[in-house]
Structure 1
Amino acid sequence: MRFRSLFSAGVLGAALAVPLLTAPSAAAAPWTCWASDDQIYAAANNVQGAPGDLLACREVKLEGVRNAPGHKAWKVRYVSTDAKGEKVAVTGTVAVPTAAWTKGGSRPTVAFNPGTLGSGPQCAFSRQLAGQKQDMYEGDNIATFLNAGDAIAATDGVGYIDGEVHTYVNGANAGHALLDIVRASRQIPGGSLKADGKVGISGYSEGGHAALWGAQLAESYAPELDVVGAAAGGVPGDLRVTAAALNGSLFAGFLADALIGLNAQYPEMPFGELMNDSGRRAVEDVKKNCLLGTLAVFAGARVENFTTDKLTLDDLYAIEGPGGVTWGEIVDRQKAGVGIGPAGSGARYEIGFPVFQYRGWLEEIIPHETEDATRQRYCDAGINTTWKNTYMSEHLSTDWAAAQDVTEFLNDRFEGKPADGNC
């Protein structure tokens, strides 16, 4: 039980990732994809280039993807922007079917964010897809898109650079990283993806939260991308509601990831000074474990047991940092579906394309009320929203149960078919 320090600083969040000194800068974009793994993932303290600029690439085989058609794949390192507006280096995977796209126009791309994999650099989705570790469950979803003829631009998310920590469920970081990997995918030397290719956004659980943030930020952050649809399932839309359910549960490890991620993105906020010895050990446990290890270490853990003053979640939310900003305010910034509106509405986040949201009927990790409320916020805002909650599956298996629906939803948008929504 080592979970208390984790929530001493807030709930669900993000980590700084700073790009590599050895990777090419934007001014010297790579001419070849011969970068080593060390160059793809190496730490750095100065990132050059515009968001989406390709820094380095390496052709790989997707050992973690079964039943896929012929394709070419690359690990990539690219420029993105964190929640504070700082440039960071992010890693990910791009895969393109070798068969020709025959459905008209340029081949579309699915911007994909995986579900929770763990917080340390060793847990990166791109490492796992290439067979370096098997603690993930998204390979079949990647294959489903590839079999539909879609290209995949799958971000690892911010914080999988060596020496960094993943910025778990930090909305701005996640949304930026998703959009920027699409930009980067079109710069691969000898690649075939075109600037006019349509874009769909997809993710489940942590990835669902990222997908909605990508949808919200698309118009303002990457207006040149032709985003035509987004699919998001198992979404922890309100992190306070989610944290209350995770605290003391079998799935408290997800809360641990969130707290460490918040501290990494907001190191100026009170955190380490709140911890006891168990809390300090918990930080190291989060960094050294991936998905299953983290869940095992923190099963049943409560945040109250990791701070010197046995602080509750509400106590932690009230703690102030520089300028009077509280941890609660930082947590609330991550809420999905706030400030949204349809195209031309003048809302902070205009969404001019259909959105598919879904959850399993037997969902046991993310509270139903926050998933349902996120969907309702989209409907109330006038966003064209399709909702499905009839999958007879629990949290993890819903990711697979919905894969064909997600693929069909996005490919219907690629083909220009209308979505009626069911708000």
Structure 2
Amino acid sequence: MQRLASRLAGCCLPVLATLALAASASAAPVAGPAGDAFYAPPSPLPAGSAGDLIWYRPTTVNLPGAPASKAWTVLYRSTDSKGAANAVTGTVIVPTTGISGARPIVSYAFGTQGLAPRCAPSRQLSAGTENYEQSNIIAALQKGWAVVSTDYAGYTTGDSPSYLAGVSEGNAVLDIVKAATQIPSVGLSYAAKTAVWGYSQGGQAASFAGERKATYAPGLNLAGVAAGGVPGDFFKTAKYLNGSAGASFLLGGVVGLATEFPDKIPFDELSNDAGKAARDAAKNQCVFETLNAYRNADISSFTKGGESLDELLAIPSVNEVISGQALGTKAIPAPVYQYHGQADEFIPLDQSITLKKAWCAKGVKVKYDLFPSEHIATQTQAPLTVIPWLADRFANRTPPTTCANTAPPPQSTADAPGGDFQVNLDKWQLKGSVYLAKLKQTLALPPTSSFTGSANLSTGLIDGQADITPFATTIKILGLGVKVSLIIEPAGRVNGTINLTDDGRLQMNAVAPVILKIRSFGAFGINFGAGCRTERPVLIPLQFDGSVGRLGNGTFTSVSEASFPQLENCGLYAPILSSLMSGPNQRFTLTEVPPAPKPY
């Protein structure tokens, strides 16, 4: 009998544990199963309330540059758009460094990662493949803040993802804060100051979380909401995306909303075979795979009768769902930092301005910043402004607001829909240095240097022009410190190839040809003459191969080596200068810094 009982316990203990958990009226969270079984919620769900932790397990996250931290994957209760209980997964990361008082919490709402289960943030953070928003997570952890991030409903739990279903997303963003505090020995308090931060889809989720906080999570100590690239008006956003470089986001939105509201958006009845195939493909792809596959696609190609987007939006049940995703209908009971790219080719600028005004009219203290870049570049620039703003909210400083701004609304500078997917760099500051190998001197470029160009991710070509201001420096000649003026003059346009891979890696291989000119100030009687220069262009390689997330703070840094040709037209000093300045191993460190955002 004892032997039989032992066998039953060994083979059935996981099942018995799940049944016991489901039967309990107020089951305490338990350690979750290993492997993919973690993502299969118990059925029925254990009784409880939204935000209750169901189970958890320790995990590791691969975030280069992040401080030492402990991390857990969690499964917790939440609520869908129709008020039904569901189970959602996510990640909790807590720095191991001490912090005085209750550790602040940032509920980070990820932007579009793709509809496939492998693309969910918790899976990518554990696998080390989160190549898009890692800089934002790292920046928050470096402040000593805990970071919690939801996977949103349906992405990992065997259901289809509820992409862009705002109420469900907002609920999941709020509920994971409560769930995180229930992990044994986690050291987090639900009373701690909490901020919500997200961009793009994450900006929508963060905004819904803010608008729902008062009624859905009244006990949450919400200190602020940072929301960028927010699609607050789905009618305008859908029309902006259709037939554009970002058409894949419209496809994802249709799939997600049809999943959340199948009775109101009957996907199979509305779509043709191409539409069904696109849905099935998208549900097995991550964001950049889908982005590349459906660039400039028109939704009429996927509808059963060739119906246009306007015709679909006019269907009463579809219109009802789309109207239900509108933001700006409620006040957010905390300060808001809203930001957007003036050249955003995915989310229209005008509807973002309208959202800001709607919140301001309801008494929300909104600080609005306008970045000069398109959608992805704006996302990478965010930590420069979001992190200080969050720090001020956690420190109880008076929140700034631009609600009183009466200037005319800014106009979009985005490329026309239907074209290539490209990042335009307009007069980005060019910082850096040149290391002269033989002289063992590092010469800093003047801060007024700039770069203007474009990276066309559709054609795979990069093109641009560097403008480096002449600068004075001192070099050693015959033991004398000779003051000279160096001119790094373009000898052609920067050109090469650039590629954004399906897994979110940016690969660039370009060359910047320049002529190096030297002018002497005549000190110690040394004069090179007006024509002293390299006899042919210096070819500066610009290379990068890494995750898009490594473009943290919006900057791009390239460290490369070049060979300097012999110098000519330098008078009597040509042999000496050539021996000192020509040859291999001359190192260039160049960083492109975007213009600062402007308040509106």
1:285 aligns with 2:266: no
1:375 aligns with 2:374: no
CA gap of 1:21–1:284, structure 2 versus 1, over 3 A, is farther
Q: Which residue of 2 aligns with 1:296?
A: 292
Tell me which amino acid in the other structure corresponds to 1:337.
Answer: G
Match of 2:124 among 121, 128, 139: 128
Q: Deviation at 1:62?
A: 0.7
Deviations 1:303-360 (A, max 9, x none): 111112111122112324xxxxx2111101101111x23xxxxxxxxx2211000012
1:235 aligns with 2:230: yes
Q: Normalization by structure 1: what TM-score?
A: 0.87
Deviations 1:54-86 (A, max 9, x none): 1111211111x1211111011111000001101
Which 5+ residue runs of structure 2 have no aligned equivalent? 1-16, 404-600
Q: Deviation at 1:288?
A: 0.8
Q: Which residue of 2 aligns with 1:51?
A: 50
Q: Alignment partner of 1:260: what SS?
A: helix
Match of 1:156 among 151, 158, 162: 151
1:223 aligns with 2:218: yes
Deviations 1:227-276 (A, max 9, x none): 01000001111011111011111211101110000111011223211221
Q: 1: distance between equivalents of 2:335 and 2:141? A: 22
Q: 1: distance between equivalents of 2:41 and 2:255? A: 19
Asked if 2 retains the 8 angstrom alpha-carbon contact of 1:40 and 1:91, the reply is no
Size of the aligned set, in residue pairs, is 383
Q: Alignment partner of 2:94: what SS?
A: strand
Q: 2: distance between equivalents of 1:163 and 1:96? A: 28
Tell me which amino acid in the other structure corresponds to 2:395.
Answer: E
Asked if 2 retains the 8 angstrom alpha-carbon contact of 1:362 and 1:394, the reply is yes
Tell me which amino acid in the other structure corresponds to 1:281.
Answer: A
Q: Which residue of 1 aligns with 2:338?
A: 357
The more displaced of 264-273 and 41-50 is: 41-50
Q: 2: distance between equivalents of 1:386 and 1:84? A: 32
Q: 1: distance between equivalents of 2:245 and 2:391? A: 37
Matches within 5 A, 1:324-363: 326-338=317-329, 340-341=330-331, 351-363=332-344
Q: 2: distance between equivalents of 1:112 and 1:409? A: 15
Matches within 5 A, 1:68-87: 68-87=66-85
Q: Normalization by structure 2: what TM-score?
A: 0.62
Q: 1: distance between equivalents of 2:110 and 2:20? A: 25
The more displaced of 21-30 and 69-78 is: 21-30
Matches within 5 A, 1:205-284: 205-269=200-264, 270-284=266-280
Q: Alignment partner of 1:157: what SS?
A: coil
Q: 2: distance between equivalents of 1:298 and 1:22? A: 44
Q: 1: distance between equivalents of 2:132 and 2:190? A: 30
Tell me which amino acid in the other structure corresponds to 2:149.
Answer: A
Asked if 2 retains the 8 angstrom alpha-carbon contact of 1:356 and 1:409, the reply is yes
1:168 aligns with 2:163: yes
1:400 aligns with 2:380: yes
CA gap of 1:22–1:178, structure 2 versus 1, over 3 A, is farther
Q: Deviation at 1:42?
A: 1.7
Task: From the CA coordinates, give the structure whose radius of gyration is larger.
Answer: 2
Asked if 2 retains the 8 angstrom alpha-carbon contact of 1:236 and 1:371, the reply is yes
Q: Alignment partner of 1:168: what SS?
A: coil
Q: 1: distance between equivalents of 2:73 and 2:130? A: 18
Tell me which amino acid in the other structure corresponds to 2:337.
Answer: F
Q: 1: distance between equivalents of 2:18 and 2:378? A: 41
Q: Which residue of 1 aligns with 2:471?
A: none
Q: 1: distance between equivalents of 2:111 and 2:19? A: 29
Match of 1:115 among 111, 115, 125: 111
Give the root-mean-square deviation of aligned CA atoms. Answer: 1.8
Return structure 1 stretches of 4+ with deviation > 6 angstroms. 20-23
Q: 2: distance between equivalents of 1:220 and 1:363? A: 33
Asked if 2 retains the 8 angstrom alpha-carbon contact of 1:153 and 1:181, the reply is yes
Deviations 1:364-418 (A, max 9, x none): 21111111111111112221110100x2322112112121311111121111111
Q: Which residue of 2 aligns with 1:94?
A: 92
Asked if 2 retains the 8 angstrom alpha-carbon contact of 1:171 and 1:209, the reply is yes
1:410 aligns with 2:427: no
Q: Alignment partner of 1:369: what SS?
A: helix
Q: 2: distance between equivalents of 1:250 and 1:47? A: 41
Q: 1: distance between equivalents of 2:202 and 2:166? A: 10
Q: Deviation at 1:209?
A: 0.6
Asked if 2 retains the 8 angstrom alpha-carbon contact of 1:111 and 1:154, the reply is yes
Tell me which amino acid in the other structure corresponds to 2:151.
Answer: D
